[in-house]
Amino acid sequence: MERAEAAADGAGDFKKGGSLLRQGIELRYQFIERQKKAYPIALLGQVMEVNRSGY
């Protein structure tokens, strides 16, 4: 019964949680943007675990 209740309120719905996952990626790119004058973008991408081609 608990599982049905959780589904009713949207818990475990990947579509609703997707914005939280994207927010983490956006924050990584913002960090890279702020630090790119001090460090090479290739290094920042590696450290932040983002694809260089996505930057």
Identify the pLDDT of residue 52. 73
Region class of 24: left (phi > 0), else alpha (psi between -120 and 50), else beta = alpha
The token pair at 41 is: 């973008």
Q: What is the pLDDT along the chain (55 residues), one digit of tens a residue?
A: 455 555 555 555 555 555 655 678 889 999 999 999 999 999 999 988 888 777 6
For residue 54, the 8-state DSSP code is G
Identify the pLDDT of residue 44: 92
- The pLDDT assigned to 9 comes to 57
Q: What distance in Å separates the CA atoms of residue 11 and residue 13, rounded to the nearest whole number?
A: 5
Give the pTM: 0.57
Q: Which two tokens stand for residue 13?
A: 């719905």
- Domains of the chain, by residue range, sit at 17-54
In a 3-state reduction of DSSP, which class is residue 25?
helix
